[in-house]
Homo-oligomer: A and B are copies of this chain.
Amino acid sequence: ARDINLAVVAGDGIGTEVVEQGLLVLDAALAGSGTTVSTTDFDFGARRWHATGETLTDTDLDAIRTHDAILLGAIGDPSVPSGVLERGLLLKLRFALDHYVNLRPSKLFAGVTGPLANPGEIDFVVVREGTEGPYVGNGGAIRVGTPHEVANEVSVNTAFGVERVVRDAFARAAARPRKKLTLVHKHNVLVHAGHLWRRTVEAVNAEFPDVTVDYLHVDAATIFLVTNPSRFDVIVTDNLFGDILTDLAAAITGGIGLAASANINPDRTAPSMFEPVHGSAPDIAGQGKADPTATILSVALLLDHLGHVDAAARVEAAVAADLAERGGRVRSTAEVGKDLAARVAG
């Protein structure tokens, strides 16, 4: 029997609650397949930081690297200064493990009511670059706290980094029925980075001649996301624009309670990481109120990434069926997990 060696980072707030249900559904999806799951828990997050001052050590990273994949719940707590866990842990994982494809599918499932009056069909994926852009931590400040303070942030974009994520996005577009790729940037203002992205998309298009390409400035893209989201099939964009667009995309498809994401290392030189788009929601933590659906859809992405394509499809189908019947019914985190696991088991 094969085994999935899974690193589990439950994290803070509702992280623990949603991850528990994610693991339940993962087991259900693999039941009878001959593949088993063994997990290692990692205690990263606010508690560990408060206790030790550590976010993610080299030893932690070495230990993580021996796993096939990572399931992450949520990171962050108001008691920790802003940026400490985000940059010292979450982004550090994405960067150190070279998660250059941050994949975020957006689908309006039947039965889900979003904020748009006439949403139409919504089914696109955002391929957000995960290791460059303004997320590199290449900023600094002088004369901090004085009237002469200057604080800079640098967006770093490389041909190497842009090309590999653009190629991945093209491959995903080519595998979808509509075969359409939209580059989102702001090349009329961020001309250097923007032109690199633009030239790269043009160049890689030659390898995928059947993919149709268009371009939107990031500001215009937010308009289309609320006026005509059906126009999108695959979006490729940088780390910051991708962060913004995927929260908006989650909102129009029923909220971040349903939005899954995968931080993928397509070269498989390190484990990929699967996490809901939502945060740790300290306001509802520990109350069994969190919706584990986003985590469970992230488990589907995990299964797909590890080659368990059928199991992944069954998890997504279970979620779709559950959402179609969900209505206004209120269930606890554990009840949703149990119901979804039962559907997956068939």
Chain A residues within 8 Å of B, Cβ to Cβ: 76, 82-83, 86-87, 91, 113, 115-118, 134-135, 139-141, 143-160, 163, 186-196, 198-199, 218-220, 222-223, 226-227, 240, 243-244, 246-248, 250-252, 255-256
Give 18 new A-B contacts, CB below 8 A, not counting A223-B251, A248-B248: A82-B187, A87-B189, A91-B189, A115-B117, A115-B226, A116-B226, A134-B153, A134-B189, A139-B155, A139-B190, A139-B193, A144-B196, A150-B157, A150-B158, A152-B192, A154-B154, A219-B244, A223-B256
Measured between beta carbons, the chain B residues less than 8 angstroms from A246 are 219
Q: How far is the CA of A153 from the CA of B136 in the complex (A)?
A: 12
Q: How far is the CA of A86 from the CA of B143 in the complex (A)?
A: 32
Q: How far is the CB of A199 from chain B (nearest CB, A)?
A: 7
Q: Which residues of B contact A86 (CB under 8 A)?
A: 188-189
Number of chain copies forming the complex: 2
Which residue from chain B places its CB closest to the CB of A200 in the assembled complex? Answer: B149
Compute how far the CA of A279 lies from the CA of B146 in the bound complex, rounded to whole angstroms. Answer: 39
Interchain nearest-CB distance for A237 vs B (Å): 12
Q: Chain B contacts of A226 at CB under 8 A? A: 115-116, 226, 248, 251-252
Q: Are B188 and A82 in contact (CB under 8 A)?
A: yes
Which of chain B's residues has its CB closest to A203's CB? B145
Considering the chains assembled together, what is the distance between the CA atoms of A76 and B140 in angstroms?
34
Query: A26 → chain B, closest Cβ, in Å?
Result: 27
The winner among A82, A86, A193, A196 for most chain B CB atoms within 10 A is A82
Out of B151, B163, B188, B194, name the residue touching A193 (CB < 8 Å).
B151
Are A218 and B193 closer than 8 Å at their CB atoms? no
Cβ of B154 and Cβ of A159 under 8 Å apart? no
Q: Kindly list chain B residues whose C-beta atoms are within 8 Å of the C-beta of A144.
A: 196
Measured CB to CB, the closest approach of chain B to A215, in angstroms, equals 9
A sample of 15 inter-chain contacts (CB < 8 A) reads A82-B191, A82-B195, A83-B189, A91-B189, A115-B226, A117-B117, A149-B159, A150-B159, A151-B158, A152-B193, A153-B190, A153-B193, A155-B155, A189-B243, A223-B255
Chain B: CB-nearest residue to A86: B188
Most-contacted residue by chain B among A191, A223, A256 (CB, 10 A): A191
Q: Which residues on the B side are within 8 Å of A145 (C-beta)?
A: 199
Whether A139 lies near B188 (C-beta < 8 A) is no
**Which residue from B117, B191, B198, B248 sits with its C-beta under 8 Å from A222?**
B248
Whose C-beta in chain B lies nearest to the C-beta of A239?
A: B189
Q: Which residue among A91, A144, A190, A194 has the maximum number of chain B CB atoms within 10 Å of its CB?
A: A190
Residues of B within 8 A of A256 (CB): 223
Residue from B83, B113, B152, B247 in contact with A155 in the complex, judged by beta carbons closer than 8 Å: B152
Whether B222 contacts A134 by the Cβ 8 Å rule is no
- Min CB distance A47 to B, Å, is 18
Q: How far, in Å, is A230 (CB) from chain B's closest CB?
A: 12
Query: How near does chain B come to A302, taking the closest CB pair, in angstroms?
Result: 23
A172: min CB distance to chain B, Å: 22
How far apart are the CA atoms of A150 and B162 in the complex, in Å? 10
Q: Which among A87, A134, A135, A196 has the highest number of chain B CB atoms within 10 Å? A: A134
Out of B91, B139, B149, B154, name the residue touching A158 (CB < 8 Å). Answer: B149
A135 and B189 contact, CB distance less than 8 A: yes
Contact of A187 among B83, B147, B158, B159 (CB under 8 A): B83
